[in-house]
Amino acid sequence: MTAKTAQTASAVGPSREAIDGELRQILIDVLALPPSQVAEFDADTGLFGYLPELDSMAVAGLLTEMEDRLDIVIDDDDVDGEMLETYGGLLAFVEAKTVTA
């Protein structure tokens, strides 16, 4: 990778694969989920309301950890049931935030 290519990549933000990997690791760490379970998550995997570990108290920790590790800012207005309903919804939310960050 040339210096110019690296510069362009950093201006665009992390790759989808990097975001996906970090988001999966955050779910493992914050919710104490088995890595094998999280590895099987797909876009339709239910999160809030489906995972007992992801209750209303855990949401705050999850969002804080996402902000810290992914270098994004999550406003109160950003948080809704749709973005937390499925893994795909959460991933799409994070991807959108990393592009605008």
Could you give the CA distance from residue 3 to residue 7 in angstroms, rounded to a whole number?
6
Q: Is residue 3 part of a domain?
A: no
Q: Phi first, then psi: give them for residue 74, nearest 5 degrees.
A: -110, 115
Partnered with residue 86 across adjacent β-strands are 46
Range of the domain at 44: 15-100
Per-residue tens of pLDDT for the chain, all 101 residues: 444 434 444 456 788 899 999 999 999 999 999 999 999 999 999 999 999 999 989 999 999 999 999 999 999 999 998 999 999 999 999 999 987 65
Q: Is residue 9 part of a domain?
A: no
Under a CB-based contact definition with an 8 Å cutoff, are residues 19 and 91 in contact? yes
Q: Is residue 10 part of a domain?
A: no
Q: Is residue 55 part of a domain?
A: yes
Q: Is residue 6 part of a domain?
A: no
CATH of the domain at 82: 1.10.1200.10
Q: Is residue 34 part of a domain?
A: yes
Structural domains counted in the chain: 1
Q: Is residue 8 part of a domain?
A: no
Q: Is residue 83 part of a domain?
A: yes
Longest dimension (CA), the chain: 46
pTM for this entry: 0.84
